[in-house]
Amino acid sequence: MTLLRFLTAGESHGPALTAIVEGMVAGLPVTREYVNEQLARRQGGYGRGGRMKIEKDQAEFLSGVRGGRTTGSPITLQIINKDWANWSEIMAPGPEANLNERVVSRPRPGHADLAGAIKYNHEDIRNILERSSARETAARVAAGTLARCLLKELGVEIAGFVRRIGSVEAVIEASLGTAELRKRTGQSQLLCPDSQAEEAMIKEIDQARENGDSLGGVFEIQACGLPVGLGSHVHWDRKLDGRLAGALMGIQAIKGVEVGLGFGAAAVPGSQVHDEICHSPDRGFYRATNRAGGIEGGISNGEPIVVRAAMKPIPTLYKPLLSVDFKTKEPFAASVERSDVCAVPAACVVGEAVAAWELAAAMLEKFGGDSLEEIKERVDRWRQWVRQV
């Protein structure tokens, strides 16, 4: 079984973010430009904060890629933090670091601040917020873009979009394909295919900004072209829906995940939940509907994968909530770090990346192979066999 994995490292105001990818097949076409395109998407979206005006994320390949193709060895991606120039004395790794400047002792409600400081026995909460920051997701987008490149070579397309921000929910036609979704979201400030809903979302974001508040929402990821048989029912940790849910819940501020009909399935009878099975000579087995979101029993069933994630409002507020100073135990208004009003579109891009990673990992686990040609041949052969079952 081929194992695809990655690690990220780096702090929000450190020198750089780094991702190391292991297990990627050799011969996969990848470009720095495509990775940077996805990084730019992560930084966009109406409602973003001041950090996006400082950083313009650019990834560099430091290993594992030669002549525009992966070599099969570990891939190192690095994203320089431009803001490091303003923090080099405070965040220096050596004893010369100025530990008395920009000390954070006031934990923000909704952040990892207090729990992390207690867990790791830090007096300066900056040691927690630097790594728990969503800035880390830039490295995950870079790694996930490589997985996305592999999926594309294997005939799998991924599209994400914002379905809700605050109280405003988009109306999306069920027949909308991934190509049209990408086209519409590419023309939207909020990655929302519904232009009327987007106008209402922008007004709600503006109102939240004026109130010193923040907004969350829901984004949806669709993956089309996946073969039957990814994941497994035999153990809990091999179920594809469980793995996707875990990956999405691992994104900062995500508080809920659903697959297909999701929580709606709890409110209607089974006749309105389960997908009837059909068969035709050209398609083989298929489902008349896709309420299951492309996964049954933890296994992909050949229909599009559909997952949604709910993001809570950003917890850093410009009208801070009450907190208690970590050192003095005196009540204070929580400290304010530079932040967004709404980051749901950015979270959607991260969601695409982590979903692509889990799906690419599942493809490699099932089909194996050390080169792109090898896995493509195995996937094609499997698809042909499935159609005649």
**Angle formed at CA 177 by CA 174 and CA 179, multiple of 5 degrees:** 150
* Domain layout of the chain by residue ranges: 5-387
Q: Burial of 32 by CB count in 10 Å (0-12 exposed, 13-18 middle, 19+ buried)?
A: middle
* 307 touches 159 (CB < 8 A): no
| Residue 336 confidence (pLDDT) | 62
Q: Where are the alpha helices (DSSP H) in 44-92?
A: 51-54
Q: Give the pair of three-digit tokens for residue 309.
A: 């994630």
The Cα 196–Cα 183 span in angstroms is 16
Q: Give every CB contact of residue 275 below 8 A, 6+ residues apart in sequence.
A: 287, 288, 289, 290, 291, 292, 303
| Residue 338 confidence (pLDDT) | 56
Q: Identify the DSSP state of 29.
A: B
Give the three-state DSSP class for 154.
Answer: coil
| Per-run averaged pLDDT (10 residues), the chain, 389 residues | 89 97 98 97 81 77 98 98 95 96 92 96 96 96 98 97 97 85 93 96 94 94 97 97 98 98 96 96 94 98 97 84 92 71 96 98 96 98 95
Q: How far is CA 352 from the centre of its chain?
A: 5
Amino acid present at 80: I
5-387 in CATH: which number? Answer: 3.60.150.10
